[in-house]
Each structure stands twice: as structure tokens, then as C-alpha cells.
């Protein structure tokens, strides 16, 4: 899969994913909190299937020099 998730987007996805998983594990939110696995994985892998479907890309373009 092609990388389509950029720097700040990656960091936000990882932080939100960890926060949701932690809240679910501690019982702060219901079982839906385990959905935090999705942003965590997309942040760690650097690719988002939804971005591919929508034609989005937050990853900066690499310049050939």
C-alpha cells in the first residue's frame, strides 16, 4: 500500500488511538473505545484505506534532486 498519511496526521492518529484504547481498557468509555485500534494502526502503518478511496493524501511529496 502507498503511504498517504503525513507527519502531524500520523501523530494525531497514534495519540487518539492510544487514548481511546486506554479509556476502553480502564472502563471510562464503553466497548466502542476499542475502535481506537483503527487510527492507531493507520498512524503506525502510514496508510489509510479511506484516504485512498477519497483520493486524499496528507503525506508531503518527495522532490527529486
Domain ranges of the chain: 7-52
What pLDDT, on the 0 to 100 scale, is given for residue 64? 47
Query: What pLDDT tens digit does each residue of the chain (65 aa) get?
Result: 788 999 999 999 999 999 999 999 999 999 999 999 999 999 999 999 998 899 888 888 765 44
List CB contacts of 56: < 8 A, sequence separation 6 or more. Answer: 4, 48, 50
Q: Give the model's pLDDT for residue 62.
A: 63
pTM: 0.84
Amino acid at each position: 500500500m502507498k503511504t498517504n498519511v503525513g507527519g502531524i496526521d500520523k501523530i494525531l492518529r497514534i495519540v487518539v488511538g492510544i487514548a481511546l484504547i486506554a479509556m476502553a481498557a480502564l472502563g471510562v468509555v464503553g466497548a466502542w473505545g476499542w475502535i481506537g485500534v483503527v487510527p492507531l494502526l493507520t498512524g503506525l502503518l502510514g496508510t489509510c484505506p479511506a484516504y485512498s478511496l477519497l483520493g486524499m493524501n496528507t503525506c508531503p511529496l518527495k522532490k527529486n534532486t
